[in-house]
Amino acid sequence: MSIGSIRLQTFVHSLIAGRFGVALQIAFAIAASLGLLLLYHTIHFKGLDSEESMEMAHLARQINDGQGFTTLHIRPVSIAIFQQRGFDPRQATQRQPEIQHAPLYPQLLALVFKAVRPSTAIATGQTFTLYKPDVWAGFFAEGWLLLAALVFFLAVRRVADPRVALVSLALFVFCNPFWRAAIAATPFAFLLFLFCVILYAMVRFHELSERWWSVFWVGAAAAAVGVGFLAKYRFGLLLIPLVTHVLIFGGRRRLLHAALAFAIVAALATPWVLRNQRLTGLPLGLATYAPIEHTDLFPEKSFEKQSSLKLEGFGYKQVQRKWLANARAFFETEIKSLGDNYLIFFAIAGLFLGFKSPVLQRLRWFLLLCAGWMALLVPFIWNPETGSVTQAGAHSGNLYALLIPLIFLYGTVFFFILYDRLEISSRFVMLLAAAFFVMINSLALIFALLPPRPPPYRFPPYYPPLIQTVARWMGPGEVMMSDMPWAVAWYGNTPCIDLPKSVPQYLEINDYVHKISAIYFTPVTMNRPFGEIVGGELSTWAPILFRQVPENFPLRAPVPNLGREFLFITDRVRWAPDGG
């Protein structure tokens, strides 16, 4: 072989192994991820399908329309809070300040809506496919997922060899729960990105632990926690494992690191906490009551549906039972199915190994601190996501799902340790083994891309054209009620109060707060079992749900021909050509 050929091979090898090689790997990963995004989006995105995603989208539209951080989804309990604080109850049903959700994610999504200006009108007389703003909300979330994958890859490259980095990245990109959560358009993908930023900052902190520059990376991690708190309040719980971790491994500057982390998170969170305190008397607004929701006394969303703040009969035993029930559910189902693959078992074994990399050894303690802290606190505040068919496992309310990238990392490290002990020198065999490992752990995604295809839209209960139609029947200043007010607020762009638990509570709102001009029942209520309607908390609504409206009921005009699964009753005929 000539000297020129040897030099050329050396030059090519240096490019592939050096920065150019890294850039090439990243470019290939981005191209493959974009292709997967378009494929998965085309097959599975059929519009928003959960209460949280529609809440985020409609809050973003309110901001984009110049209405500020206000909501059209009115909860009866929020009316009680504003009445208690001295606000005009009628104003509280028209342009109510949002007190349930954190502000950052809707603010970011509003920038997207401002840039693309998607049409919100649904043409009548045409076949409905997708609501255009839904599509952009989905792409926005999916973009954060790709950014999270990139940051995760850059972090893993610094603590493990290229094989581990590439396989970990492949497992991340082919993780079906991540894509399900992304197309659901909730803040989960954004929170996952922030967690990967924390992971990268922790890696850099350990690399520079004896230098002053380590302070910068602690600050970066704390800033990510603070930003995450402003996107989802419970994300702020990560401050405790972060501070504990830097206290253990921070060396001589550990107190400085811990104080800096607390100060940065406090600086970011305090203004919003003070705003909530001023409006509601509660630091997190309605989210402060998360521990009492989904308990025996307040099952499902019943606390939000009551028209008072009474907590009679509520005590420690209800919270205890909630914690035990949620903890049992997590350890029996959620933990074992994290990522929809088998890596949790590899990762647990990998945590007990000794690693050459001190960063990798210390990072596992961060994983264990996060997992332990979440195991203790998350069952108190974890509430099942309602109205969603795509969010099982990974959603913004499930902080455990944020640990999946670390499970990928330690599971992959354990796999390659086992493979290296076989002492097989063939690179081809190694590639086959790695590809098989990725494929086995990506079967959920592979099957998700295969037929049969999902329905063309999220029905039941969501059908945007019908929601817009009934919303158009409402006049300025009028308010309606529904069992899915988040969808009416998003697709109908009209004020809608959550259906109270009982008819007397509806009458109280109608008589003393604001006249209710219509009630829109959907499959959320109409498809419930017969026994649950006549014998449960909906029993006072049973005659109306069975289309036997009492003579003394304020609303007497039901819309004909809406089908068995829908009921729209109003104070007058509104669907005639002249408006009634």
Burial of 415 (0-12, 13-18, 19+ CB in 10 A): buried
Tell me the C-alpha distance between 82 and 77, whole Å. Answer: 9
Question: What's the pLDDT score for residue 106?
Answer: 97
What DSSP assignment string belongs to 252-292?
GGHHHHHHHHHHHHHHHHHHHHHHHHHHHSSTTGGGGGGGG
User: Is residue 544 within 8 Å of 569, Cβ to Cβ?
Assistant: yes
Divide the 580 residues of the chain into consecutive groups of 10 and give the mean pLDDT of each group.
Answer: 54 53 70 84 87 95 94 92 82 81 97 92 76 94 94 94 92 91 92 97 88 88 97 94 92 89 97 95 92 82 83 79 83 70 82 85 92 85 53 67 92 92 89 93 90 78 89 91 95 93 91 92 90 84 90 84 87 65
Any idea which residue has 């209460």 for tokens?
A: 51
Of the candidates 452, 456, 489, 451, which has an alpha carbon nearest to the alpha carbon of residue 470?
489
Beta-bridge partner residues of 259: none
- Residues making up the chain, counted from first to last: 580
Q: How far apart are CA 114 and CA 135, in angstroms?
A: 14
Q: Is 175 exposed, middle or buried (0-12, 13-18, 19+ CB in 10 A)?
A: buried
What pLDDT is stored for residue 146 in this prediction?
Answer: 93
Q: Render pLDDT for 226-257 as a digit per residue (tens, 0 to 9).
A: 999 999 999 999 999 999 999 999 888 889 99
